[in-house]
Structure 1
Amino acid sequence: MRPLKLTGLYLALTIAGLSACGKSEAPQATLPAAVDGARIMAADKEPGNWMSHGRTYDEQRFSPLKQITDENAAKLGLDWYFNLPTNRGVEATPIVVDGVMYVTGSWSMVFALDAKTGEMLWQYDPQVPPTWAVNLCCDVVNRGVAVWKGKVYFGTLDGRLIALDAQNGSRLWEVQTTDKERPYSITGAPRIIKDKVMIGNGGGELGVRGYISAYDTETGDMVWRFYTVPGDPSKPFEHPILEKAAKTWGGGKWWEVGGGGTVWDSMAYDPELDLLYLGVGNGSPWNRQIRSPDGGDNYFLSSILALRPDTGDYVWHYQTTPGESWDYTATQHMILADLNLDGNIRKVIMQAPKNGFFYVLDRLTGEFISADKYTHATWADHVDQKTGRPVENEGSRYTDGKPHLVAPHPLGGHNWHPMSYSPQTGLVYIPAQENAMAYMDDPNFKYSKKGWNVGVNLAAAGLPENDPEIRAAVMPTIRGHISAWDPIQKKEVWRVQHPNMWNGGILSTAGNLIFQGNADGELVAYRADNGERLWSTNAYTGIVAAPISYSVDGEQYIAVAAGWGGGGAMALGEIIADAKGAVNNSRVLVFKLNADKTLPASVVSRGELPTPPASTADEATITRGHALYMENCHMCHGDRAVSASSVPDLRYLTAEKHQMWDGIVLGGALQSKGMIGFWDRLSKEQTDTIHAYVIKRANDLVEGKD
């Protein structure tokens, strides 16, 4: 189903376009989403619009609007809301152009809304097969659209890039950007430069080879593709630079697993230098001693890459984590700015990747300028100022067959949640995280075409099953904070501490404000210069996406796409299950001064705990079941079978569902809801063992052992 709805606003825009024929009117007077490069580059001249993912090509996520300030933010109220029709994670940045908002929900659905009233203009459902959800590491999310010359572009979970008519939501073209025989996915937002739409993909944990592609915005024809890791060295390299990259890989057959290096989120563009910057992801598998046992830096994993957007030609790269072995992606948000460093204005690119260091690089050459810890990080002591390479701490590579507690965790010191830079305060606002994980080599690793390929003992990585004291000690240390980071002084200026991790992205504004949603279900305004909390509202759901600001008819609005979910919500289990926002109510929320709408206080409940079957399995079976559960189930249903998301908590299975276990887990009886059958991955003996573990965990809950 692809429901379509047109309203008077769009008819008015069309009439305006007809009356303007033959005149050199501003582009916004003719068509909806009439955005081009010149308009994005001049975005500060029309601050009421939010025309690109980071508002501008430099991705600063700073709004020049200042009707809402630190003096009056306490008067903010809800003006309108729009209920999204699904209940999974929402990570989108809305795009607002000339009074129309374009936003995505889960399952890659797209909506056009009247930005003043919230009325739906049209919606488009790409009908992603529910069974494709098994090929996703981190929920059925989408981070938004790009708009260009009357069209709306977005990627789908199953790897398609689609162009829609911005006027009515009808499909103009569609292209499959990935190999459907491999577990690729798209969750990131495209970027558009000079009539080319850039899109990457995800799937590194499951075994794919990363690349970014550019497509013609009018036809959907591919213009170029750049692979971020080398393929089979016995075959010709797609780019000359990949021959050099291949020399940094050795001893394994990484190309059979894929190698990783997916470009699944961040990009930025400098029009003056004509350079496209992209962040590159982790290795596949994570564990370097499996994919590249002879060592090596493994270009271009965990790197910032600069390419020519017309051709995809390589210009430079900087690798944040050489020989990546911890899922330390460099796909996190990148910001371009001009900084006064030692009396000289430097054109820089800034990033706080997963590995816990804040990087400042020269964006013309890739020259290393600085890197300092913005959160707890134990894998490396520091980054050498002369070489730009990390000085690793002993044991952090977990090559001795023993577990090693290393910080950050694979979810990172900072994940995909966008940070923001305010030219007024000179500070970068980072949605930072504090966490760690026990990394341990998996000596029995075998590549699987279907399933996870991390090369790490996941059973050792989760919270311990039989040690409640350790769990009680560890859980409070896994949390998040806002770090107001001075990139010139290379230090944190102030911090807002959160009780939980997996908090939302950040917006800064000219009103001396920053806005962030959090895991406790709040949207909060803080003073940008000192972090003072000024205003908050209850969203009745955790917020992980970043807010934006726009204006219509002289009124400034703050908007956020709300809906608890994503990788942290799904995988962390009891670590985050008690967060007040750990329920999903998917909505677009829009606020302005002196508004007074009321948001329905709907809260999703797990319901009553059914009486589970008796737990009769012996300890050895439970141990095997736990290991199999962690390898196959926990990324959706949570560590220790505790769900902190809208995915079912398996401890609450009814007697009927326990009886249907084989039909669901092996046979795929619930595949229409995204739960495929694992008949081709697991034996009945293995799924029986997992079932025994789930039954044990349900009985733990009934008996008050959790």
Structure 2
Amino acid sequence: MKSRFARTGTALIGALAGTLLAAGAASAQPAYPSVTQARLDNAAASKGWLMFNRSYAGDDYAPFAQINTKNVASLKPAWSSAKIDIPNGFEGTPIVNGDYMFATTPLDHLIAFNAKTGQKLWEYDYDLPKTALKTVCCDVNNRGVAVYGNEVFMGTLDNHVLALDATTGKVLWNVALEKPGIGYSISEAPMIVDGKVIIGSGGGEYGARGFIVGLDAQTGKLLWKTYTIPSPSEPGGKTWPAGAYKHGGGSPWMTGTYDPKTKQLFWGVGNPGPWLASMRPGNNLYSDSVIAIDPNTGAIKWHYQYTRNDTWDYDGVNTAQLADITYKGKPYHALVEANRNGYFYAINRETGKLIYAVPFVHDTSIIGIKDGQAVNNMKLRPALDKQIFTCPSFLGGKNWWPGAVDPATNMAYVPTLHACMTMKGVPVSYAAGLPYLGETFEMKPDPASPHHMGSIQAIDLSTGKQVWQHRTKEPWDGGAMATSGGLVFSGTADGHLYAFDAKTGKILWKSPYLGSGIIANPMSYEIDGKQYVAVWSGWGGVWPLWSGKLGASLAKAPRGGQLHVFALNG
């Protein structure tokens, strides 16, 4: 088990050299439009792409129709970055503000491009200590940055948060949130709300007690820190055995969403530690939950727990997207999420109460919903003397990669995994910096989908039921983006970016081979009246690390990343 984690520390670590590489004279650079809170509040209507999931709603929906169902077949390459020889997964979403594009790579590199021409404006390589890579669970990812004022903000694998000048890459402040090598890491893109940098920790597989912080964007000063696993004196603390909260996991390791009207953050929380649930009886709040947080204080306002006393690693970190829906004739301000446990959820974002939950993959771990909560299949829970077979696998019906929500079609578009697993309990004790699982596992084919491990599917938000599905032999590990041109874009393990008809699922365009598989999220922006679509290629991430024999067909897939940008006239 230890060797699986160690494999995430690859070559090139020693090549990192916290240096700033200028490309082109500053006078040749485009003007930089300052990012105000008003612009962030209205990011959904921006010509750029101002945050990880485009807007606070997290819906990955671009209101651009220049590229549409009638002409997408004419989409051509506009520009590409040089290939980057890092053999890890490229999971970042580029951020575009004006003519500036900011893109991160594995191992905490940050590159600024001219979004129109592809010219490299500057590059910053974070000086990452080798110690940090001892406790990185699932590849050495950096998923992106946040922008505010004239600064760019980035988290790092050794638990730092940095502010850099957007036009030069000069570091303005650098704050450490935790020591490296003891279990914590940061791989998510930050979010900015009212002058605060909001970011969460990773490390649940090492028993690191999860937390979310709010930092002053001007200085990096810590304003608040909220632990996602409560102590005995805090609400929810009695859902853990005595002392277990100290190593309870619950990492909030993916960027959340925010409702500016109600001033509430919505952040997903990961799996409890250890994985073996018999070691921690109780509901184990706030693991496998979405929590509503006051961005000014960090106070938890409400929670909804997807999987109680989880023993299958069904994290709750998938993005809870804001959507206004109508269910059984009644309107709701909702959060919608395709959860790792195999159910598609709609939750009232004002109260935290369940609206509906419907399975979207073959699911044996959860046998239904009762009194607003998932019901665990108690017969399919591993123990020290018991091996089980269940579906979905610990990678979930959907993993972290973002889905998209289209208000015009009233559908969610969900990248989906069809895989199952065996699990068996093994003895484990906590030690800082070592995996804290208590289970062995092996991924297996899904008997309900033996010839297709992946798909992208459309789900009707009014019912939670599938409208269409496109299946693939290999896993579907890339995110999805919808546009007002009636399209859904998503990339695949075989190295192609696809455009689907959002209403029917018909393939309308397929990119040339992009050199490596895609596990990142596509994004789109407009400059000077021209629409672009961009995505990173660069195979890696959780599938090659954890899929075992099930992933044999992709074991020798090409590695290395490259940023690809497309437009109608090339």
- 1:421 match: secondary structure: strand
Q: Is the 8 A contact 1:133 1:139 kept in 2?
A: no
Checking the alignment, whether the CA contact within 8 Å between 1:434 and 1:477 is kept in structure 2 is: no
Task: Give 1:287's aligned residue.
Answer: 276
Q: Distance in 2 between matches of 1:580 and 1:477?
A: 18
Are 2:360 and 1:374 equivalent residues in the alignment? yes
Quick one: distance in 1 between partners of 2:478 and 2:44?
25
1:426 aligned to which of 410, 426, 433 = 410
Deviation at residue 13 of structure 1 after TM alignment: 4.5
Q: Which secondary structure state, in structure 2, belongs to the residue aligned with residue 391 of structure 1?
A: strand
> Structure 2 matches for 1:132-147, cutoff 5 A?
132-147=132-147
Task: Identify the residue that residue 591 of structure 1 maps to in structure 2.
Answer: 566
Letter in 2 for 1:445: V
TM-score computed with the length of structure 1 as normaliser: 0.75
Q: Residue 322 of structure 1 aligns to which amino acid in structure 2? A: R
Aligned to 2:40: 40
Q: CA deviation at 1:555?
A: 1.1
Q: Give the structure 1 partner of residue 442 of structure 2.
A: 462
Greater CA drift, 363-372 or 77-86? 77-86
* 1:549 alignment partner, SS class: strand
CA–CA distance in 2 between the matches of 1:209 and 1:12? 43
1:600-636 CA-partner distances (Å, limit 9, x unpaired): xxxxxxxxxxxxxxxxxxxxxxxxxxxxxxxxxxxxx
CA contact 2:456–2:476 (8 Å) conserved in 1: no
Find the residue that maps to 2:482 and give its secondary structure. strand
1:539 has 2:514 as partner: yes
Separation (CA, whole Å) in 2 of partners of 1:171 and 1:125: 11
User: How far off is 1:393 after superposition?
Assistant: 2.2
Q: Does 1:525 align with 2:491?
A: no
1:340 aligned residue: 326
Q: Does 1:582 align with 2:557?
A: yes
Partner of 1:408: 392
Comparing both structures, which one devotes a greater share of its residues to helix? 1
TM-score, normalising length: structure 2: 0.93
Match of 1:452 among 417, 435, 438: 435
- Alignment partners' CA distance in 2, 1:321 and 1:245: 15
Indicate conservation of the 8 Å contact 2:276/2:383, yes or no.
Answer: no
What residue is the counterpart of 2:380 in the other structure? 396
Q: 1:27 maps to which residue? A: none
Q: CA RMSD in A?
A: 2.0
> Is the Cα contact below 8 Å between 1:520 and 1:580 reproduced in 2?
no
Q: Unaligned stretches of 5+ in structure 1?
A: 15-31, 464-469, 596-706
State the 1:183 CA deviation: 1.4
Show CA shifts across 1:29-79 (max 9, x none). Answer: xxx252122112223443x21111111110111011111011111111111
Please name the residue that 1:220 is paired with: 220
| TM-aligned CA deviation for residue 155 of structure 1 | 0.5
Q: Write the mapping of 1:295-374 to structure 2, written as runs, cut at 5 A.
A: 295-374=281-360
1:254 lines up with 2:244 in the alignment: yes
> Which position in structure 2 is the counterpart of 1:74?
73
Alignment of 1:87-236 (within 5 A): 87-180=87-180, 182-231=182-231, 233=232
Distance 1:323 1:477, change over 3 A: farther
Verify the 8 A CA contact 1:541 1:581 in the aligned structure 2. Answer: no
Q: Residue 6 of structure 2 corresponds to which residue in structure 1?
A: none
Consecutive aligned runs of 4 or more in structure 1 exceeding 4 Å deviation: 8-14, 470-478
Unaligned runs of 5+ in 2: 1-16
Specify whether residues 266 and 471 from structure 1 end up closer, same or farther in structure 2 by C-alpha distance, changes over 3 A only.
closer
Aligned partners of 2:302 and 2:451: how far apart in 1?
A: 38
2:96 partner SS: strand
Q: How many residues end up aligned between the 2 structures?
A: 551
Change in Cα spacing, 1:91 to 1:203, as seen in structure 2 (3 Å) is same
Report the alpha carbon displacement of residue 594 of structure 1 after superposing the two structures with TM: 3.2
- Cα separation, 1, equivalents of 2:230 and 2:555: 45
Following the alignment from structure 2 to structure 1, what is the Cα–Cα distance between the partners of residues 109 and 565?
19
Moved more, 574-583 or 347-356: 574-583
Secondary structure of 1:74 counterpart: helix
Letter in 1 for 2:541: G
Following the alignment from structure 2 to structure 1, what is the Cα–Cα distance between the partners of residues 216 and 380?
Answer: 44
* In 2: Cα distance, 1:581 partner to 1:190 partner: 33
- Which of 526, 532, 547 is 1:551 aligned to? 526
CA–CA distance in structure 1, aligned partners of residues 445 and 193 of structure 2:
48
Q: Distance in 2 between matches of 1:569 and 1:33?
A: 40
Q: Is structure 2 residue 3 aligned with structure 1 residue 5?
A: no
- Alpha-carbon shift at residue 472 of structure 1 (Å): 12
Amino acid at match of 1:497: R
Partner of 2:488: 514
Q: Which has the higher contact order (CA 8 A, sep 6+)?
A: 2
Cα shift at 1:369: 0.6
Q: CA deviation at 1:114?
A: 0.4
Asked whether the equivalents of residues 134 and 181 of structure 2 are also in contact (C-alpha less than 8 Å), the reply is no
Please say if residues 420 and 446 of structure 2, whose CA atoms lie closer than 8 Å, have aligned partners that are also in contact. no
Change (3 A) 1:577 1:35: farther
1:663-678 to 2 correspondences below 5 Å: none
Deviations 1:396-447 (A, max 9, x none): 22237221101111111111100000111110000011111112111x3222
Which position in structure 1 is the counterpart of 2:475? 501
Amino acid at match of 1:383: I
- Structure 1 position 10, deviation (Å): 5.8
Amino acid at match of 1:216: D
1:492 matches 2:472: no
Shift of 1:142: 0.8
- Note the alpha carbon deviations across 1:651-692, whole angstroms, 9 max, x for none: xxxxxxxxxxxxxxxxxxxxxxxxxxxxxxxxxxxxxxxxxx
| 1:344 CA drift (Å) | 3.2
Amino acid at match of 2:391: A
Q: Report the secondary structure of 2:204's partner residue.
A: coil
Q: Secondary structure at the match of 1:132?
A: helix
SS in 2 for 1:395: helix
Q: Determine the structure 2 residue equivalent to 1:245.
A: 236
Give the one of 408, 415, 422 matched to 1:438: 422
What secondary structure sits across from 1:4 in the alignment?
A: strand
Cα drift, residue 85 of structure 1: 4.8
Larger Rg: 1
In 2, Cα distance between the equivalents of 1:488 and 1:67? Answer: 28
What SS class does the counterpart of residue 247 from structure 1 fall into?
helix
In structure 1, the residue corresponding to 2:544 is in which secondary structure? helix
Instruction: Report the residue type matching 1:150 in the other structure.
Output: N
**Whole-Å separation in 2 of the counterparts to 1:188 and 1:587:** 20
Percent identity over paired residues: 36
Q: Does the 8 Å CA contact 1:51/1:96 hold for their aligned counterparts?
A: yes
8 A contact 1:10–1:167 mirrored in 2: no
CA contact (8 A) 1:162 1:173 kept: yes
Distance 2:378 2:546 in 1: 28
